[in-house]
């Protein structure tokens, strides 16, 4: 297969990561029982915190996202991943709200993670980094929100793995979350989702350049394995209809089948491009750890197997959003969250948006989704007494 790595070193190691950093001196007790600390949270903010500190929205990024929500990515130079939603006058209006997006604990864009140096050894953490959970990510974010002096977030939102963090926030810190918008998410990772993650992890670990996780010290990078992991995962973010609409069986730069294993089809070429461009900006070990955190997520299990118990007595206003063609986090999974919230007599809205764009729809131009989010936030802002932007 023609998937040559762009460089032999770890991605972005020479690139500065602009933005803010919080060094947390305290230790964090992780779900695994291990303590981690001191640690760093890298984050971006947009807009201004008001005098009452009541207009903060926490954005939780997805598996392969980062804190560069609405600014060019320092490695790829591409626009922020939610540029379409975040800005003056946009749905997440920077004239009205103060937006915060931290790179998750264990990420690879400046927050403490397996690619960073373990101060105890002076060497990269690699596989000595502790396995962490979605709840651990949220615990780390709480330190950031404390540091910013915000008692209650106006809203916590995010899609996919970001949605899991939203649910964890609302469950573990209900009094600190006025409104919660989990998008295209689930209260637990399904067997199918764990299975896809395992394919990705095995692809990385099968790459000889992975070196048992020690690739940084060996000056190598398992780019081929990570690219394959990304290719497999990327299929799950789309839908059969979307792939057909975009590519069909169209051939790539040729008029006839090549009778070889080159990228004959446009869809092959597209996936290879997705794989190769991903490894420029993402760390393979980070990918292993983060997919594991998703797999371990089961909010009901933390509450005697009853999901409604996770939201008992909550006063948070919820808006659950799903997409019809999302088969990774299908509507049925989102509806389970809604049923649990109903059972907890919570204030909940639930909208399923009709689209053929699959799971990735939450990142794309979906007017129905954007209008829903805008309307929900406006309603919440009225209840919270926030001034119009």
Partner 1 sequence: MSMDARNLTRNFAAPPELRGDLRLAAEMIEPGSRVLDIGCGDGELLSYLTRHKDVDGRGMELSQSGVNACVRHGLSVIQGDADNDLADYPTGAFDYVVLSQTLQATRNPRQVLLHLARIGKRAIVSIPNFGHWRIRASLLIQGRLPKTALLPFPWYETPNIHLCTIQDFATLCAEEGIRIERSISLDRWGRPYRLNPVGALANLLAEQGLFLLARR
3-state secondary structure of 146: helix
Which of 146, 253, 354, 365 is in the footprint of partner 1 by CB under 8 A? 354
| 140 versus 155: smaller Cβ distance to partner 1 | 155
In terms of residues, how long is the chain?
Answer: 389
Distances (CA, A) of 10 to 6, 14, 220, 309, 313: 10, 9, 7, 43, 47
Residue 375 is a binding residue for partner 1 (CB under 8 A): yes
* Residue 11 in tokens: 């991605």
Segment holding 194, helix H or strand E: helix 191-205
Distances (CA, A) of 363 to 86, 242, 306: 11, 14, 31
CB of 354 to partner 1, least distance (A): 6
**Residue 4 known to be catalytic:** no
**How would DSSP label each residue in 147-191?**
HTT-SSEEEEEEETHHHHHHHHHHHH-GGGEEEEEEES--SB--H
**Residue 326 known to be catalytic:** yes
**Residue 207 known to be catalytic:** no
Residue 349 is a binding residue for partner 1 (CB under 8 A): yes
56-64, 114-122, 246-254, 312-320 -> range binding partner 1 (CB under 8 A): 312-320
Helices (H), 206-265: 223-237, 240-246
What is d(CA 189, CA 167) in angstroms, rounded to the nearest whole number?
A: 13
| 163 versus 213: smaller Cβ distance to partner 1 | 163
> Site residues for partner 1, window 316-335 (CB under 8 A)?
317, 319-320, 335
CB of 131 to partner 1, least distance (A): 34
Residue 86 is a binding residue for partner 1 (CB under 8 A): no
Left, alpha or beta for 55 (phi > 0: left; psi -120 to 50: alpha)? alpha
Residue 36 is a binding residue for partner 1 (CB under 8 A): no
Residue 93 is a binding residue for partner 1 (CB under 8 A): yes
142-150, 261-269, 282-290, 347-355 -> range binding partner 1 (CB under 8 A): 347-355
Chain residues binding partner 1 by CB under 8 A are: 89, 93, 96, 308, 317, 319-320, 335, 338-340, 342-345, 347-354, 368, 371-372, 374-376, 378-380, 382, 388-389
């Amino acid at each position: 297969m023609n998937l040559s790595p762009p460089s032999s070193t770890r991605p972005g190691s020479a690139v500065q990561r602009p933005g803010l950093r919080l060094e947390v001196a305290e230790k964090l007790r992780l779900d695994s029982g291990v303590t981690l600390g001191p640690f760093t949270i890298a984050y971006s903010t947009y807009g201004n915190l008001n005098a009452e500190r009541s207009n903060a929205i926490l954005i939780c990024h997805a598996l392969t996202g980062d804190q560069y929500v609405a600014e060019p990515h320092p490695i790829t130079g591409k626009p922020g991943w939610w540029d379409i939603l975040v800005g003056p006058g946009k749905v997440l209006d920077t004239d009205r709200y103060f937006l915060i997006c931290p790179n998750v604990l264990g990420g690879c864009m400046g927050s403490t993670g397996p690619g960073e140096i373990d101060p105890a050894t002076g060497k990269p953490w690699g596989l000595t980094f502790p396995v962490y959970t979605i709840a651990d990510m949220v615990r780390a974010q709480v330190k950031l929100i404390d540091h910013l002096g915000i008692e209650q977030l106006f809203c916590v939102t995010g899609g996919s793995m970001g949605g899991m963090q939203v649910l964890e926030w609302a469950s573990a810190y209900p009094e600190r979350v006025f409104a919660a918008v989990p998008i295209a998410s689930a209260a637990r990772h399904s067997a199918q989702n764990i299975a896809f993650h395992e394919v990705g992890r095995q692809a990385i670990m099968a790459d000889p350049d992975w070196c048992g996780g020690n690739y940084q010290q060996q000056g190598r990078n398992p780019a081929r394995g990570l690219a394959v992991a990304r290719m497999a995962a990327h299929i799950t973010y789309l839908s059969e209809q979307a792939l057909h609409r975009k590519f069909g069986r169209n051939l790539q730069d040729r008029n006839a089948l090549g009778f070889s294993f080159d990228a004959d089809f446009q869809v092959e070429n597209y996936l290879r491009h997705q794989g190769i461009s991903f490894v420029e900006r993402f760390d393979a070990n980070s990918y292993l750890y983060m997919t594991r955190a998703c797999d371990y997520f089961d909010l009901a299990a933390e509450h005697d197997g009853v999901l409604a118990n996770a939201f008992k007595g909550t006063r948070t206003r919820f808006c659950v959003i799903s997409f019809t063609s999302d088969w990774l986090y299908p509507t049925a999974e989102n509806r389970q969250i809604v049923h649990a919230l109903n059972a907890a007599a919570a204030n909940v809205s639930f909208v399923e948006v009709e689209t053929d764009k699959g799971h990735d729809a939450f990142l794309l131009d979906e007017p129905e989704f954007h209008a829903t989010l805008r309307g929900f936030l406006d309603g919440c802002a009225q209840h919270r007494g926030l001034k119009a932007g």
